[in-house]
Amino acid sequence: MLACLLALGQGAYSASPLLSDETGRMLAELVRASQAYDLYNARCRGNAASTKTEDSNRLFLRKYRLTVNQVINLYIGKDDRAEKAAMEQDFLQRLSRIGGCSMAKKQNLLKELDQNYRQLYEQISDLP
């Protein structure tokens, strides 16, 4: 009996089972957007806090019982560390193509990153 209760209890706290492909894609895009935003802040503003990634993590936990790392594993790639490193490399290449932080600031990259992040965050927040 105790084993059955434990098994039922574990199911109540497990990650959300299958999400739609569209929802999974949106979660993955929010992870990428929050990582890019935090990387910009760390690289160009000297702020190493991962606030957008942490906010996304809280949203995923509240709505889907998933963490950012689980979203990466499920919808981006199997190795969250490797995927985060790849996201960082992609962002740094983008920053380099722009001409570094000074040009990124002139081109309002932070505003673009913020708008993208907020739009995705709100879309996911509004999902049932």
The predicted model scores a pTM of 0.82
pLDDT in tens, the chain (128 residues): 434 333 434 333 344 457 899 999 999 999 999 999 999 999 999 887 789 999 999 999 999 999 999 999 999 988 888 999 999 999 999 999 999 999 999 999 999 999 999 999 999 999 98
What are the structural domain ranges in the chain?
A: 19-126
Alpha-carbon gap, residue 10 to 66, rounded angstroms: 15
